[in-house]
């Protein structure tokens, strides 16, 4: 049942990202178009129905007909024949200019990259100067020197495009020459040329192939442009650019003349670019195979969703802020009912209370926090359950209403403060923005309140720090800012997602103290997500333990540590570093958290549990009144307490 749809994911990976589906057909089409172009270029004499230069003024400017499939031009020449001979020019032009660019750019780039020093400096300054002139102007200046004509134009384009090959080759050499294998080759006395040929050329090939395809496309467009303005191929020779130049003069009389050469240029350039994209994607993947990840949906096999009716939570308390009942979140899976990530989750938090949500990575803790805010990513959906905040079910609210609730009634502090603040704005403006949009404060009021908040979270010189950008602050200070922003509208619920995990140990304690102080002052409820039981023990009133998308135990913090009732909780407690002696190796829970979609049908912990019995293969409900546990043997097992 854990079989992954490998076939499916393999074909997905082979597709270029920008096309999604059906790209094989497009690549095949591009290859076929280029093959046709090449054949027409080679066999132009045999294929074309007429002599491309034969004039017949009696038949000028005709539309498509049986005799002339694409009509005739102003001098009565057959457009199809000229188009076919244009293929030859296009192929020659692309090959000539690209070869010249490669032959000039690569050797010089390799040489200056390897030599460095004076040579490198002078050549690079010249390259910079050339690059700062618009490309077509460079070509025009070179043509002023050489005179006009196809081959001269291609030499000009070759020189122009050689700069990109030069920079590419130089860059690769600079990167490679410091690689260990080149240095060690030098140590054993290999000659310079040998080092270059044997070690650097193989590494330069992939980016060079990509650059070549890019250049071919650019050359085709540039050749057409130069011929169009009369500096490339000269009349009466047929090239697509000169054909368009003719067409331009007759746009009001016979616009069709512009269509065939235009389509030919577009199709050719498009085909070259498409193939270049595929090559680039292929090479990119060769460098970083694991870097791309498809949507998680592709990796999971859908299983039947077992939704057991949610168990009676303790009756609502008068000071209850948040009450979640029977929450289920699923990830969409193609052609299936969706793979559950969180099932049957119920919890409640009272005013001024801190509920800890603990568990290993992948147990669904952070997702729970995001689901409460309605901020899960597009592929995820909350399918069941209610999320009642201050007496209102958030799931029934419209987008505008939930945006109103966020910030005002519930706010969130994230794990990494350096990435949860926007790098483009000052920290003060990010707090003030919330105050202005949510509370309608004026610019001045919002700023004053911002400085007061920054002062309140314990940052010295708040007025000055408010003008700092996130990257100018330490992690601890950035997290204080994030907390100040979250509390700016005085929410009744604060969701803190691992807020101390990314910080230094010494700073961790300060931030925990800050949470405690602020809770005493503002009285908000806190849902504190953490994988660190020591942190949870420090700050929480009650703790919910999550495993594989469901809650397995919930208890008041003292009771949970003194007498865990679920084998998983016990496993977590004994795996805490300071909960065991130093001499024996730290106990661990064998195995790892199963992925969503591959959860055991019954108790999801059963395959890692030392106490599993056959009865564990059925769905286990959460039982208890004061403290809850999801274990069929909870009453018979006596699990050792943590110290």
Partner 1 sequence: MLKLVSRRLLALVPLLFIVSVLTFSFTSLLPSDPVDLIIGDTGTQEQYEVVRERLGLNQPVILRYIQWLGRAVQGDLGTSFFNSVSVADAVMQRLPVTLSLTLVSALIAVAVGTAAGIAAALRPRSWVDRLATVGATIGQAIPNFWFGLLLVAVFAVNMRWFPATGFTPISASPWEWLRSVTLPAIALGLSSSAAIARQVRSAMVGVLQQDYIRAARAQGLSSRRVILKHALTNAMVPVVAVLSFQITVLLGGSLIVEQVFSINGLGTLAITAVRQQDIPMIQGLVLVMVGLVVMVQLATDIVYGFLNPKARPS
Task: Count other C-beta atoms under 10 Å from residue 323's C-beta.
Answer: 20
Between residues 196 and 244, which has the closer beta carbon with respect to partner 1? 244
Which residue's CB is nearer to partner 1, number 108 or number 554? 108
Where are the alpha helices (H) located in 351-394, listed in sequence order? 365-373
Window of 84-92, 186-194, 479-487, 522-530 that interacts with partner 1 by CB under 8 A: 479-487
Kindly state whether residue 434 participates in binding partner 1, applying the rule CB under 8 A.
yes
Nearest to 454 by CA among 429, 418, 417: 429
Helix and strand totals (H; E) in the chain: 23, 11
Q: Parallel, antiparallel, or unpaired: how do β-strands 493-497 and 525-530 relate?
A: parallel
Q: Which residues of 238-266 are buried (b: 16+ CB within 10 A; e: fewer)?
A: bbbbbbbbbbeebeeebeebbebbeebbe
Instruction: Specify whether the CB–CB gap between 315 and 348 falls below 8 A.
Output: no
Cα–Cα distance, 253 to 568 (Å, whole number): 84
Between residue 232 and residue 261, which ones bind partner 1 under the rule CB under 8 A?
244, 247-248, 251-252, 255, 258, 261
Q: Which residues contact 2 (CB under 8 A, 6 or more apart)?
A: 301, 597, 598
Return d(Cα 391, Cα 382) in angstroms, integer: 19
Helix (H) or strand (E) holding 104: helix 79-115
Check residue 231 for interaction with partner 1 (CB under 8 A). yes
Q: Tell me whether residue 393 or residue 610 sits nearer to partner 1 (CB atom).
A: 393
CB atoms within 10 A of CB 206: 17
Task: Assign 3-state DSSP to the chain and report helix, strand, coil percentages, each to 5.
Answer: 55, 10, 35
Q: Does 515 bind partner 1 (CB under 8 A)?
A: no
282 binds partner 1 (CB under 8 A): no
Judged by CB under 8 A, the residue of 32, 39, 67, 229 near partner 1 is 229
- In the complex, what is the shortest distance from the CB of residue 501 to partner 1, in angstroms, rounded to a whole number? 13
Q: Considering only residues 423, 440, 460, 584, which one is a binding residue for partner 1 as defined by CB under 8 A?
A: 423
- Pairing type for strands 542-547 and 354-358 reads parallel
Among 24, 43, 181, 425, binds partner 1 (CB under 8 A): 425
The closest of 214, 229, 266, 237 to 137, measured between CA atoms, is 229
Residues 147-166, interacting with partner 1 (CB under 8 A): 147
Q: Which of 273, 390, 509, 559 binds partner 1 (CB under 8 A)?
A: 273
457 binds partner 1 (CB under 8 A): no
Smallest distance, partner 1 to C-beta of residue 144, A: 4
Residue with smaller CB distance to partner 1, 246 or 606: 246
Report the residue from 74, 120, 360, 416 that binds partner 1 according to the rule CB under 8 A. 416
Contact flag: residue 133 with partner 1 (CB under 8 A): yes
Window 19-38: contact mask with partner 1 (x via CB under 8 A): xx------------------
Candidate segments 46-54, 63-71, 387-395, 404-412, binder of partner 1 by CB under 8 A: 404-412
Distance CA 56, CA 37 (A): 27
Closest CB to partner 1 among residues 494, 554: 494
Give least dist CB 422 to partner 1, A.
4
Question: Among 403, 445, 510, 532, which residue interacts with partner 1 (rule: CB under 8 A)?
Answer: 403
Candidate list 408, 509, 559, 607; residue touching partner 1; CB under 8 A: 408
* Residue closer to partner 1, measured from CB, 45 or 294: 294
Point out which span in 41-49, 216-224, 306-314, 543-551 binds partner 1 (CB under 8 A): 216-224
Q: Which residues contact 372 (CB under 8 A, 6 or more apart)?
A: 322, 324, 387, 389, 394, 410, 495, 527
Chosen residue from 123, 373, 496, 629 binding partner 1 by CB under 8 A: 373
End-to-end CA distance of the chain: 40
The SS3 call for residue 300 is coil
* 260: Cβ contacts below 8 Å, ≥ 6 apart: 70, 79, 80, 83, 243
State the Cα–Cα distance between residues 99 and 212, nearest whole angstrom.
9
> Phi and psi dihedrals of 555, rounded to 5?
-155, 165
Q: Whole-number minimum distance, CB 456 to partner 1, in Å?
A: 17
Instruction: Decide: is 217 part of the binding site for partner 1 (CB under 8 A).
Output: yes
Q: How far is the CB of 526 from partner 1 (least distance, A)?
A: 15
Distance CA 527, CA 519 (A): 12
Window contacting partner 1 (CB under 8 A); options: 56-64, 327-335, 433-441, 571-579: 433-441
Considering only residues 291 to 350 of the shown chain, the ones binding partner 1 according to CB under 8 A are: none
Q: Per-residue x/- mask for partner 1, residues 581 to 620, rule CB under 8 A?
A: ----------------------------------------
Q: How far apart are CA 523 and CA 191, in angstroms?
A: 74
Q: Are 256 and 80 in contact (CB under 8 A)?
A: no
Chain positions 559 to 578 lying near partner 1, rule: CB under 8 A, are none
In whole angstroms, the minimum distance from the beta carbon of 27 to partner 1 comes to 12
- Cα dist from 591 to 169, 564, 571, whole Å: 48, 20, 12
The single residue among 14, 54, 115, 125 that binds partner 1, judged by CB under 8 A, is 125
Minimal distance, residue 268 CB to partner 1, in Å: 8
E strands present in 449-563: 493-497, 525-530, 542-547, 550-556
Residue 495 tokens, joined? 């969701």
Q: Does 399 bind partner 1 (CB under 8 A)?
A: yes
Pick 120 or 416: Cβ nearer partner 1: 416
Q: How far is the CB of 587 from partner 1 (least distance, A)?
A: 34
Residue selected from 45, 51, 179, 404 as contacting partner 1 according to rule CB under 8 A: 404
Kindly tell me which residue out of 182, 196, 274, 589 binds partner 1, with binding defined by CB under 8 A.
274
469 binds partner 1 (CB under 8 A): yes
Q: Does 91 bind partner 1 (CB under 8 A)?
A: no
């Amino acid at each position: 049942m854990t079989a992954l749809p490998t076939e499916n994911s393999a074909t997905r990976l082979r597709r270029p990202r920008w096309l999604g589906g059906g790209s094989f057909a497009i690549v095949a089409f591009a290859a076929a178009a280029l093959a046709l172009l090449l054949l027409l270029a080679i066999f132009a004499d045999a294929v074309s129905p007429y002599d491309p230069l034969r004039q017949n003024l009696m038949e000028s400017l005709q539309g498509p007909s049986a005799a002339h499939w694409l009509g005739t031009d102003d001098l009565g020449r057959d457009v199809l024949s000229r188009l076919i001979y244009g293929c030859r020019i296009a192929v020659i032009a692309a090959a000539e200019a690209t070869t010249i660019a490669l032959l000039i750019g690569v050797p010089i780039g390799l040489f200056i990259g390897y030599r460095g020093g004076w040579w490198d400096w002078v050549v690079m300054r010249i390259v910079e100067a050339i690059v700062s002139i618009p490309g077509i102007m460079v070509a025009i200046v070179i043509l002023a020197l050489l005179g006009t004509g196809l081959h001269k134009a291609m030499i000009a384009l070759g020189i122009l495009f050689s700069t990109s090959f030069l920079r590419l080759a130089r860059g690769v050499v600079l990167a490679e020459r410091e690689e260990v294998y080149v240095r060690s080759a030098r140590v054993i006395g290999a000659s310079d040329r040998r080092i270059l040929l044997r070690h650097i050329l193989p590494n330069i090939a992939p980016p060079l192939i990509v650059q070549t395809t890019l250049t071919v496309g650019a050359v085709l467009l540039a050749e057409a442009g130069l011929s169009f303005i009369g500096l490339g191929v000269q009349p009466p020779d047929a090239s697509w650019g000169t054909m368009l130049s003719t067409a331009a003069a007759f746009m009001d009389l016979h616009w069709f003349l512009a269509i065939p050469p235009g389509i030919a240029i577009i199709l050719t350039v498009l085909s070259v670019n498409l193939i270049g994209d595929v090559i680039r994607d292929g090479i990119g993947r060769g460098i970083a195979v694991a870097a791309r990840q498809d949507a998680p949906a592709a990796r999971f096999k859908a299983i039947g969703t077992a939704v057991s009716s949610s168990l009676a939570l303790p009756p609502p308390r008068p000071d209850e802020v948040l009450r979640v009942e029977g929450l289920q979140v699923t990830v969409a899976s193609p052609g299936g009912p969706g793979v559950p990530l969180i099932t049957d989750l119920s919890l409640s938090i009272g005013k001024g209370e801190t509920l800890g949500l603990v568990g290993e990575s992948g147990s669904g803790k952070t997702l729970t926090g995001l689901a409460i805010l309605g901020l899960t990513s597009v592929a995820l959906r909350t399918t069941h359950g209610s999320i009642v905040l201050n007496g209102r079910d958030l799931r029934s609210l419209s987008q505008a209403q939930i945006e109103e609730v966020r910030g005002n009634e519930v706010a969130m502090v994230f794990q990494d403060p350096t990435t949860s603040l926007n790098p483009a704005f000052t920290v003060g403006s990010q707090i003030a923005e919330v105050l202005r949009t949510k509370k309608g404060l004026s610019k001045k009021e919002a700023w004053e309140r911002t400085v007061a908040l920054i002062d309140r979270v314990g940052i010295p010189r708040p007025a000055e720090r408010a003008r700092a950008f996130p990257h100018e602050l330490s992690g601890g200070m950035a997290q204080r800012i994030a907390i100040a922003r979250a509390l700016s509208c005085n929410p009744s619920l604060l969701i803190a997602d691992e807020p101390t995990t990314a910080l230094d140990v010494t700073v961790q304690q300060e931030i925990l103290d800050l949470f405690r102080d602020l809770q005493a002052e503002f009285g908000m409820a806190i849902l504190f997500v953490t994988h660190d039981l020591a942190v949870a023990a420090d700050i929480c009133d009650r703790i919910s333990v999550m495993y594989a998308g469901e809650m397995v135990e919930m208890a008041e913090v003292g009771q949970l540590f003194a007498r865990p009732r679920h084998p998983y909780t016990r496993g977590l407690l004994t795996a805490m570093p300071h909960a065991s002696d130093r001499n024996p190796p730290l106990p661990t829970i064998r195995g790892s958290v199963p992925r969503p979609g591959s959860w055991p049908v019954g108790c999801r912990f059963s395959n890692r549990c030392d106490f599993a019995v056959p009865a564990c293969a059925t769905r286990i409900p959460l039982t208890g009144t004061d403290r809850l546990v999801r274990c069929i043997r909870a009453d018979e097992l006596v699990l050792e307490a943590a110290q």
